[in-house]
C-alpha cells in the first residue's frame, strides 16, 4: 500500500511538473500613469490583430484566441510612444477541442467562474512605457501597460518585436504569461481554494499578442 501511495504521488508530481510552463511571466505591479500620446496616431487593424491564449491544468491544456475590437498606437521618431487596445471578451474561442465540446469550455470561461463577460464584456490594455531592448532574440522592445481585466487594473510588462514601416506598425510578442489570480479570476486556483489536488487549474495564462496598426 505504501508503495502504491508513493507511486501515485510520484505520478501526480510528474504531471504537475509537466504542466508548469517555462514561458516568461509578465512583470506585474500597481497600475501606472498612461503614456502621453505624441506623434502620429495609427488605427489598430482588428482583422490582423488578436490575442492567442493557452490555459493548463494537471494532465492537459486548452488554447484559443480572443479578438481585439479597437485601438490605436502612437508613433514618433520611429518609436511607439503610446496607445491602447480593447479586447472583446465575448469573442473567446477554443481551437483544440472537438466541435461538440468547444461550447461547454467557452461557456464556462465566459461565466462567473472565470471572466464573467456579461458583467465585464471587454478588457483593455493601455501603454504606460516602451523601452528598447538590445541583444534580445525575438524581441526589440519591452512594453509596459495597464491591463484591466474584470474589475482589476494592474501594470504588466512583456517583451515584443516592434516593426515600423512608414505608416504601419506590427507588434508581436513571444509567448508570455499573466497570473489570472492577480485579476480576480479565482476558479480552480490553489491560491484561493484548499484541497484541490489534481483538480487545480494553473494560475498562469500564456498569451501571444499581435497588434497591427496603420
pLDDT tens track for 62-109: 999 999 999 999 999 999 999 999 999 999 999 999 999 999 999 999
Distance from C-alpha of 114 to C-alpha of 100, rounded to nearest angstrom: 21
Predicted TM-score of the model (pTM): 0.87
Q: Is 50 exceeded by the pLDDT of residue 23?
A: yes
Q: Are strands 50-57 and 141-149 parallel, antiparallel or unpaired?
A: unpaired
Q: Are 187 and 200 in contact (CB under 8 A)?
A: no
pLDDT at 196: 65
Q: Is 90 exceeded by the pLDDT of residue 188?
A: no
* Distance from the first to the final alpha carbon of the chain: 65
Amino acid at each position: 500500500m505504501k508503495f502504491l501511495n508513493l507511486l501515485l504521488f510520484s505520478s501526480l508530481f510528474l504531471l504537475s511538473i509537466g504542466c508548469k510552463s517555462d514561458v516568461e511571466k509578465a512583470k506585474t505591479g500597481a497600475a501606472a500613469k498612461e503614456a502621453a500620446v505624441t506623434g502620429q496616431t495609427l488605427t489598430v487593424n482588428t482583422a490582423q490583430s488578436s490575442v492567442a491564449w493557452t490555459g493548463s491544468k494537471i494532465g492537459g491544456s486548452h488554447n484559443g484566441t480572443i479578438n481585439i475590437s479597437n485601438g490605436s498606437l502612437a508613433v514618433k521618431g520611429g518609436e511607439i510612444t503610446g496607445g491602447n487596445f480593447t479586447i472583446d471578451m465575448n469573442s473567446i474561442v477554443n481551437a483544440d477541442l472537438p466541435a461538440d465540446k468547444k461550447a461547454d469550455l467557452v461557456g464556462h470561461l465566459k461565466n462567473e467562474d472565470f471572466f464573467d463577460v456579461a458583467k465585464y464584456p471587454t478588457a483593455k490594455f493601455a501603454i504606460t512605457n516602451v523601452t528598447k531592448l538590445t541583444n534580445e532574440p525575438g524581441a526589440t522592445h519591452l512594453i509596459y501597460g495597464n491591463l484591466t481585466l474584470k474589475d482589476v487594473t494592474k501594470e504588466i510588462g512583456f517583451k515584443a518585436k516592434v516593426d515600423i514601416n512608414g505608416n504601419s506598425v506590427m507588434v508581436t510578442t513571444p509567448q508570455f504569461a499573466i497570473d489570472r489570480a492577480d485579476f480576480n479570476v479565482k476558479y480552480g486556483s490553489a491560491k484561493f481554494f484548499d484541497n484541490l489536488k489534481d483538480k487545480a487549474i494553473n494560475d498562469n495564462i500564456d498569451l501571444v499578442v499581435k497588434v497591427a496598426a496603420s
